[in-house]
């Protein structure tokens, strides 16, 4: 198990340079752009901060996941495709777990983390 974890960590950090390294800038930037647009829309419609509502209001989670997926789903799929291409080119193998970790980190995390604060900042300047 330790060997697998070591390989995963080594492979994940190895992605930071070499072929397709631009995606570590471009994909979080796109997720940030989508989060800003969604956060502004949330502020204009008076919605709560996204991540806070997701954590605290269990009854809205399904609806919120659908809404978030509409905005970053294509970016997540693109992250998966690019990581599969990277793995096949560099490792000549495919590690699905590493692909999911990479895609989730590049597309989903920035969106979920930034959408709520953008909402709050816009509300703060709006009032």
For the ranges 19-23, 90-94, 101-105, which has the lowest average pLDDT? 19-23
3-58 tens-digit pLDDT: 888 888 888 887 888 787 888 899 999 999 999 999 999 999 999 888 888 889 99
20 SS3 class = coil
Total of domains in the chain: 1
Q: Which two tokens stand for residue 101?
A: 């970790």
* 47-65 tens-digit pLDDT: 988 888 888 999 999 999 9
Q: What is this structure's pTM?
A: 0.83
From start to end of 15-74, where are the E strands?
none
Average pLDDT of the chain to the nearest whole number: 90
pLDDT at 76: 95
Domain extent, residue 21, equals 2-126
118 touches 82 (CB < 8 A): no
CA distance 2 to 74: 33
Q: Residue 13: what pLDDT?
A: 80
> Per this entry, what is the length of the chain?
127
């Amino acid at each position: 198990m330790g060997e697998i974890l070591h390989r995963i960590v080594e492979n994940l950090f190895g992605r930071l340079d070499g072929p397709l390294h631009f995606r570590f800038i471009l994909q979080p930037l796109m997720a940030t752009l989508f989060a800003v647009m969604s956060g502004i829309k949330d502020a204009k419609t008076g919605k709560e901060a996204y991540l806070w509502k997701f954590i605290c209001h269990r009854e809205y989670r399904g609806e919120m996941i659908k809404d978030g997926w509409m905005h970053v789903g294509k970016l997540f799929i693109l992250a998966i495709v690019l990581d599969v291409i990277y793995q096949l080119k560099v490792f000549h193998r495919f590690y699905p777990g590493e692909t999911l970790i990479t895609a989730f980190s590049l597309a989903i995390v920035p969106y979920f983390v930034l959408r709520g604060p953008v909402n709050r900042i816009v509300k703060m300047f709006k009032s």
